[in-house]
Amino acid sequence: MTDFLHYLTLPYLLQGMGFTLRLLAMGFVGGLALGLVLASMLLSRHRAVAAVARAYTTLYRGTPLILQLVFVFTVLPHAGVTLTPVVAGGVALAMNEATFFAEIIRSAVREVPAGQRAAGRALGLGPAGLLRHVVGPQAFRSMVPALGNEAVATMKNSALASIIAVPELTLRTQQLASATFDYFEIYFATAVMYLLLTAAITGLQLLVEALVDPDGVRRRGWLALWRRRPATATPAPPPGHAPAAPADVPVPDDRRTHADPPPRSFGEAMVEARGLRRSYGDTEVLAGIDLMVREGEVVALLGPSGSGKSTLLRTLNHLDGLDGGSVLVNGTAIGYDWQGRELPERRTARQRVTAGVGMVFQSFDLFEHLTVRENVAAPLRWVHGLGRDEASARADELLASVGMSHRADALPRHLSGGQQQRVGIARALAPRPRVLLLDEPTSALDPEKVAEVLQVIRDLARTSGLTMVIATHQLRFAREVADRVVFMAGGVVVEEGPADDVLLRPQHALTRSFVGAMDSAEV
Ligand SMILES: Nc1ncnc2c1ncn2[C@@H]1O[C@H](COP(=O)(O)OP(=O)(O)OP(=O)(O)O)[C@@H](O)[C@H]1O
């Protein structure tokens, strides 16, 4: 025992541990930095760039680290690059680890649901903003356990640097044991040193995991200490009580009812789509769509599944590109310059903001790492430059309007689908859009949750004066809220007109059979 404690505290071995730590730091930090570069190359849309990164990872994952160490230490000097053994060991470890980090980063980035990226883009985030605020934080959270594993692997791999005479812990252990023949005590002490390092890495990993766990952050509430927010939460409305309209939205005295609709007049063209074409592979989904929506008008897009309703909505704000035709939203050709050339995503994102187009998604696509309040408030800070208090106050106001104040501090995954969709609507309304696109906002909901979301949209349509385009399968709802119904089939507009005309007296055979089928399904 005394010998063991003697070796455990022996400066000769402790210095070896110091070299091991230096190799670990260089291998981990360098590997992570190079891994980030490799991951972005692997994710690149340019095939040549991705191919270079893939060749590198194949080469480095397919050859033993020991050969790579010897290569860096002995071959590089022939190219005029001479490194000390420790630096050569660190560089070789970093170059090797980078391939594993790259795959960890790549898979973590891909795990972030595509819908959240689309939601971020629709809110006006460019690629850098998306990476920083949406993809990065969520990818990092899912990467932490794997990064902990890689840190331990790097530490253990550092023992191979003894081949190029780095006096790290394993080499010093061997040297000491050969000189003293105290094999058991020395190797036992070394094993304990490695275990202490592993325990420290594991502790650090668990600490980081706890720090980035949104549930943990919420439970501890320590973020609230420095993220002040106004205490303006409004209690939930009693069940059955229709949520109020957003505060900035004028509420007319006489609320429109379907039984007695007041005459409505509309302003200038807010959405003008001409000859829209969009194909996926050989399938032409939009085959020349014309659509005009005037300011303040509510248009319901109806059509059988696969008729291209979602695609049409996505092309209106350039979440999907066009193969032909043109779109103006509030006078802006989103995604194109004045000569019709496609713009990079960063500039397109700004155009979405300028045009004032908001979008509500079928699968809600709330940012899962943020609370309900932050889902609404954060984009106002990221994109519109609002201060923290101002953005939170606006979020609280909108959450009250959709009856979600009582869940403002909850995470999206703790909400029902209907509640998530109400938050999705509040998030889309927060920047005060001029045009709101709603992509089948109730089709991912359980039947009993549909009504609460429809009620929010119904109130908006009746009171807000917003221009709205709603893709929906709910015929009764479409009749109730829409000024005009556009029926699509096979990628073209088959029939359009006032809701009652199209839904009660359809002219086209396809519309008749669709309305008949949907009517019997709704009964
Ligand atoms: N990114 C894509 N890649 C390939 N095909 C796609 C893509 N997006 C849509 N499609 C195809 O385009 C067609 C139209 O899809 P879209 O979602 O626009 O229809 P929809 O009318 O909204 O249908 P639903 O009512 O079922 O949501 C479908 O056949 C769909 O499979």
End-to-end CA distance of the chain: 82
The pLDDT value given to residue 56 = 94
Give tens-digit pLDDT for 70-129: 999 998 888 888 889 999 999 999 999 999 999 999 999 999 999 999 999 999 999 999
Q: Is the CB of 440 under 6 A from ligand 1?
A: yes
Q: Is the CB of 441 under 6 A from ligand 1?
A: no
Q: Is the CB of 114 under 6 A from ligand 1?
A: no
**Range name among 89-103, 218-232, 291-305 with the lowest pLDDT average:** 218-232
- Gap from CA of 272 to ligand 1 centroid (Å): 22
The pLDDT value given to residue 101 = 95
Which atom of ligand 1 has the smallest separation from the CA of 362?
27
Which amino acid is present at 331? G
Give tens-digit pLDDT for 114-156: 999 999 999 999 999 999 999 999 999 999 999 999 999 999 9
pTM of the model: 0.81
The pLDDT value given to residue 339 = 80
Q: Name which residue sits closest to atom 9 of ligand 1, judged by CA.
A: 311
Q: Is the CB of 303 under 6 A from ligand 1?
A: yes
Pocket residue to mutate for ligand 1, from 278, 279, 283, most atoms within 8 A of Cβ: 283
Distance of CA 127 to the CA centre of its chain: 11
Between CA 491 and CA 316 the distance in angstroms is 15
Predicted complex: ipTM over 0.90: yes
Adjacent-strand bridge partners of 276: 289
User: How large is the average pLDDT for residues 221-246?
Assistant: 42
3-state secondary structure 80-127: CCCCCHHHHHHHHHHHHHHHHHHHHHHHHHHHCCHHHHHHHHHCCCCH
Give tens-digit pLDDT for 255-285: 333 444 455 666 688 899 999 999 998 899 9
Kindly report each contact of residues 176-183 with a partner whose C-beta sits within 8 Å and lies 24 or more positions away, as own/partner: 176/7, 176/10, 176/12, 176/13, 182/3, 182/7
Between CA 422 and CA 437 the distance in angstroms is 14
3-state secondary structure 362-384: CCCCCCCCCCHHHHHHHHHHHHH
Pocket residue to mutate for ligand 1, from 310, 469, 514, most atoms within 8 A of Cβ: 310
Which amino acid is present at 381? R
Pocket residue to mutate for ligand 1, from 311, 313, 359, 487, most atoms within 8 A of Cβ: 311
